[in-house]
């Protein structure tokens, strides 16, 4: 294999999970939304088929991966994996699975809106 190609592949493998951000196409930024981080260990990790929503009204999540964090009781987070989603988004689910299995802390970035308890996730990282 060409050395430059091998280097590019390795860089892509290591950087893609770090830079993975969620597909928020079709999600409107609610009025008064503020981008914020939430931290904690995953207490629930759920995978569901496309089209199955979580919550209702302004708390509706249109997402295939649903999870909860121990330090954010009452809040639920979701990641969309709809058809056509950037493949790098799947690395976020890998990070969540690794954190859940190994009892690691995660940090997630999401919009925060007063009165809303279910949030679509923008990015995920494992933290110590």
Q: What CATH number did the domain enclosing 48 receive?
A: 2.40.50
Predicted local confidence at residue 90, as pLDDT: 87
What is the C-alpha to C-alpha distance for residues 78 and 67, in angstroms, rounded to an integer? 6
Q: Which of 33, 19, 2, 16 is nearest to 110 (CA)?
A: 33
- Which pTM value belongs to this model? 0.73
User: pLDDT band at 3, cuts 50/70/90?
Assistant: low
> What is the extent of the structural domain holding 21?
3-127
- Give how many domains the chain has, as a whole number: 1
CB atoms within 10 A of CB 84: 6
Q: Which helix (H) or strand (E) holds 15?
A: helix 3-19
pLDDT in tens, 46-100: 998 888 888 888 888 989 999 999 999 999 999 998 877 888 888 999 999 999 9
Predicted local confidence at residue 31, as pLDDT: 61
Predicted local confidence at residue 59, as pLDDT: 86
């Amino acid at each position: 294999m060409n050395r430059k190609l091998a280097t590019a592949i390795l860089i892509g493998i290591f950087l893609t999970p770090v830079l993975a951000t969620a597909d928020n196409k079709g999600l409107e930024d609610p009025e008064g939304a503020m981008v914020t981080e939430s931290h904690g260990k995953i207490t629930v990790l759920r995978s569901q088929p496309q089209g199955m929503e979580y919550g209702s009204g302004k708390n509706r999540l249109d997402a295939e991966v649903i999870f909860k964090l121990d330090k954010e009781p009452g809040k639920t987070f979701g990641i969309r994996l709809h058809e056509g989603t950037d493949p790098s988004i799947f690395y976020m689910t890998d990070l969540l699975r690794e954190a859940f299995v190994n009892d690691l802390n995660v940090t997630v970035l999401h919009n925060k809106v007063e009165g809303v308890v279910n949030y679509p996730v923008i990015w995920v990282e494992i933290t110590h």
